[in-house]
A and B are shown apart, each in its own frame.
Chain A
Amino acid sequence: MQDYQSQKPIVLDILASHRTMPGNLLPILHGIQDTLGYIPPAAVEDIAKDLSLSKAEVHGVISFYHYFRTTPPGKHTIRICRAESCQAMNSKALEQHAKQTLGIDFHQTTTDEQFSLEAVYCLGNCGCSPSITIDDQVHGRVTPEKFDRLVASCKGNKS
């Protein structure tokens, strides 16, 4: 895990640029996660101080929302839709397959730090269930074979 001292200036910058925005806590948290990939637990104190909130309040907000994470993600984040429409098109088998081939459960990251696996409840792509996202790309009608191809192409991509 990275040392917070190197991340602190980024957090302070984000805080400064949101100072006059009404209801700024979520935008700040998004800003931090977009930049660092997660919200470092050590940032909570800086956020709380800046917004005149208690640390417990800030922590309470972070933990309420499924999207925010407090540990670094793998290089690629795979989200599998678990909602009804995808279930109707056999997402359960896809889930099983994904967990097995990646060797991890939801909310975990592979040991080579390539992939994090998250559950998601509907991607609005229910017309082409089952659906997953890899980073910001949505993929529809995902079979286990298509899943393997997508994962393989991530590995091939050096970026």
Chain B
Amino acid sequence: MTRVFVSRDSTALSLGAEQVAQSLQQLADTKGLDIEIVRNGSRGMFWLEPLVEVETSTGRVAYGPVQPEDLATLVEAGFLDGKQHVLSLGNIEEHPFFKYQNRLTFARVGLTDPVNLEDYLAHDGYRGLKNALALQPVDIVKHVTDSGLRGRGGAAFPTGIKWNTVMNAPAEQKYIVCNADEGDSGTFSDRMIMEGDPFVLIEGMTIAGLAVGATQGYIYLRIEYPHAKIALNQAIEAAYQHGYLGENIQGSGKTFHLEVRSGAGAYICGEETSLLESLEGKRGLVRFKPPLPAIVGLFGKPTIVNNVISLASIPVILDKGGEYYRDYGMGRSRGTLPLQLAGNIKHSGLFEAAFGMTLREILYDYGGGSASGRPIRAVQVGGPLGAYLHEGQFDTPLDYEAFAAIACVLGHGGIVVHDDTVNMSEMARYAMEFCVEESCGKCTPCRIGSTRGVEVIDRIVGNEQKQKNTELLRDLCDTMLCGSLCAMGGMTPYPVLSALNHFPEDFGLPTAKA
């Protein structure tokens, strides 16, 4: 029996992986091929999807991108024995895009059957939980603190400190909430973890529960991710069946329950307090802070709200120790960040690397430059609230502080590339429009300011009192920056001002000084 891998990842499916898997099964049935098709996650090299991997005596040999009509010639060429074919990629783990990564959080994604618990265990799964079960809560939290892990959801707040606060908050009931609302354009690492290795998130949340004494967890999953929901629920069910969730986890006497809840298409529900409101069944209005969710969170109880990647990085930290994780990275940005390459880029996909690589390296050495072959002009990092970087900033290292120093954010590690056909006044206008569309409406600078922002940009571009309106736009951005309750209104000025400052010619204004 030969094992053949065809991904079930959404992106692979969006390029036809389902048809490839089905056609392969049909071909196997008619030709009597002795194969088992495993539906794995994605290796994250999207330009090669649908990727087909064959397990041979010398390792996994890959072919891609494969369309159903290629299967007949693949069989003829002897792909089940790893033989040559025009679509041959050799051992996929030797591919430069894959080989030079530091896959800690994504170690198993693309390798294993995501919902097969045995496969998870065979690839070092649940070793972190095993260690955690033998530790006191303070020691679990200490590992997390020592690792230097900072929240991967955007604000980069130290995870250990958050956990410590919840651990020390006395309460009958506490909660672990996973923020799986991943709404930023150019980000898909949360989705890839949930579809490609859901157990690692479940394990991370269970460890969080042990650390702070929470017995109930919720994954707040955006509605746009139906495949992630299926994979998560399959994995949760398997974990319950084998005593990794529920009462008396692995005979320890500890309890942790986990449930997936669907969002309903509101970007603001990614903001943690808005998310909690939504989980409670209300409109997703942002709450004033303090009190922090760590003290008064879900249903008024102490709650950890962490991003998917933050929680999915916990198992390796508890398995190998905080120091091991900390040894990756630079400065105060420790460990690894799964970078997501999107937009107009040749080699789009996910690249997990230690902090410190430059943007230029990732764009050109690994990303292969633009997809259109035209010069890269502007790159937005950190989602719709992130600034646009221009060519002169591409040597900035990917590090939270280095980005902050140039008024940019790393956020969730999403990198969206635009070539030189982009019109940056349109992107600035879109940023304001997005804020109009997605503002929770609680505060005026964000709710009204964004609408005014769209109008003012239109006037600048339409040559109406250019100078005066440009000043007005800057004023407005200042008001939004200072007067907004959360980062939705508070950071929308980032993309707008960066577009205006670096690409004024697109607004019909004099070119910026170099």
Q: Judge whether A25 is part of the interface by a CB distance below 8 angstroms.
A: yes
State the CA gap A88–B419 with chains docked (Å): 8
Hey, which chain B residues are within 8 Å of A133, CB to CB? 224
User: Which of A7-15, A109-117, A121-129 is found at the contact surface with chain B?
Assistant: A121-129
Q: Are A25 and B264 in contact (CB under 8 A)?
A: no
Flag if A88 contacts B10 (CB, 8 Å): no
Asked if A26 contacts B187 (CB within 8 A), the reply is no
Which of B204-212, B276-284, B326-334 lies at the interface with chain A?
A: B276-284
Contact of A127 among B299, B341, B437 (CB under 8 A): B341
Nearest chain A CB to B282 CB, angstrom units = 6
Cα of A128 to Cα of B7 in the assembled complex, Å: 15
Contact of B278 among A24, A26, A84, A136 (CB under 8 A): A26
Q: Convert A121-144 into 0s and 1s, putting 1 for each residue whose CB lies closer than 8 angstroms to a CB of B.
A: 111111111010100111111000
A42 CB → nearest B CB, Å: 20
The answer to whether A121 and B434 touch across the interface, beta carbons within 8 angstroms, is yes
B503 at the interface (CB under 8 A from A): no
- Which of A66, A126, A139, A140 lies in contact with B185, CB distance below 8 A? A126
Q: Is A68 positioned at the interface, with any CB of B under 8 Å from its CB? A: yes
B282 & A139 in contact (Cβ 8 Å cutoff): no
Is A67 in contact with B342, judged by CB distance below 8 angstroms?
Answer: no
Closest to A88 in B: B343
Inter-chain contact A128/B11, CB cutoff 8 Å: yes
Closest residue on chain B to residue A138 by CB atoms: B14
B residues 403-421 touching A (CB-CB < 8 Å): 414, 416-419
Is A87 touching B284 in the complex (CB atoms < 8 A)? no
Contact A67 B264, CB 8 Å, known A87-B430, A124-B224, A124-B225: yes
CA distance A52 to B493 in the complex (A): 41
Instruction: Given the known inter-chain contacts A67-B223, A84-B380, please indicate yes or no for A27 contacting B261, CB distance below 8 A.
Output: yes
Task: Name the one of B185, B341, B348 contacting A122, with C-beta atoms under 8 angstroms.
Answer: B185
Indicate if the CB atoms of B262 and A26 lie closer than 8 Å. Answer: yes
Looking at the assembled complex, report how far the CB atom of A26 sits from the nearest CB atom of chain B, in whole angstroms. 6
Cβ-defined contact, B46 with A122, below 8 A: no
B226 at the interface (CB under 8 A from A): yes
* Distance of A127 Cα from B342 Cα, bound (Å): 5
A13 to chain B, nearest CB (A): 19
- Chain B minimum-CB-distance residue to A92: B426
Tally of contacts, chain A with chain B, CB under 8 A: 145
Complex Cα distance, B265 from A68, in Å, reads 8
Chain B minimum-CB-distance residue to A66: B265
Q: State the Cβ distance, A14 to closest chain B Cβ, in Å.
A: 14
Q: Does A22 contact B (CB under 8 A)?
A: yes
Quick one: given A84-B186, A84-B430, A138-B14, are A30 and B299 in contact (CB under 8 Å)? no
How far, in whole Å, are A88 and B188 apart by their CA atoms in the complex?
A: 16
B152 at the interface (CB under 8 A from A): no
Min CB–CB distance B409 → chain A (angstroms):
15
For B45, the closest partner residue in chain A by CB is A127
**B441 nearest in chain A by CB position:** A64
Instruction: Pick the most buried of A25, A27, A65, A124: most chain B CB atoms within 10 A of its CB.
Output: A124
In the complex, what residues of B have CB within 8 A of residue A126's CB?
A: 185-188, 340, 342-343, 348, 414, 416
Contact A125 B261 (CB under 8 A): no
Complex CA–CA separation, A29 to B184 (angstroms): 25
Residues A89 and B344 in contact, CB atoms below 8 Å apart = yes
Query: How far is it, in angstroms, between the C-alpha of A68 and the C-alpha of B262 when the chains are bound?
Result: 12
Question: Which residues of the partner chain A approach B417 to less than 8 Å between Cβ atoms?
Answer: 88
Complex Cα gap A126–B187 (Å)? 7
A120 touches B (CB below 8 Å) = yes
Query: Is B182 close to A, CB under 8 A?
Result: yes
In the docked arrangement, what's the CA distance between A87 and B422, Å? 9
- Chain A 83-111: CB-based contact to B (< 8 A → 1; otherwise 0): 11111110000000000000000000000
Which residues from chain B contact A136 at a C-beta distance below 8 Å?
226
- Our pick among A68, A87, A131 for the contact of B14 (Cβ within 8 Å) is A131
Task: Kindly state whether residue B191 has any CB partner on chain A within 8 Å.
Answer: yes
Contact of A84 with B11 in the complex, beta carbons under 8 Å: no
CB distance from B413 to the nearest CB of A (A): 12
CB of B182 within 8 A of CB of A124, answer: yes
A23-B281, A26-B278 known; 15 new pairs, CB 8 Å cut-off, are A23-B299, A25-B281, A26-B262, A26-B279, A67-B263, A68-B265, A89-B343, A123-B10, A124-B187, A127-B11, A127-B340, A127-B348, A128-B348, A138-B13, A138-B14
Chain A residues near B (Cβ < 8 Å): 22-27, 29-30, 51, 60-61, 64-68, 83-89, 120-129, 131, 133, 136-141
Task: List the 5 closest A-B pairs by CB distance, nearest first.
Answer: A25-B281, A67-B265, A65-B264, A88-B343, A83-B185
Q: List 24 A-B contacts (CB under 8 A).
A: A23-B261, A23-B281, A24-B281, A30-B264, A65-B264, A68-B265, A83-B185, A84-B380, A84-B384, A84-B416, A87-B427, A88-B422, A121-B434, A121-B437, A121-B438, A123-B10, A124-B188, A124-B224, A126-B348, A127-B341, A129-B342, A131-B14, A140-B11, A140-B14
Footprint of A on B, CB under 8 Å?
10-11, 13-15, 46, 49, 182-188, 190-191, 223-226, 261-267, 278-284, 299, 340-344, 348-350, 371, 380, 384, 414, 416-419, 422, 427, 430, 434, 437-438
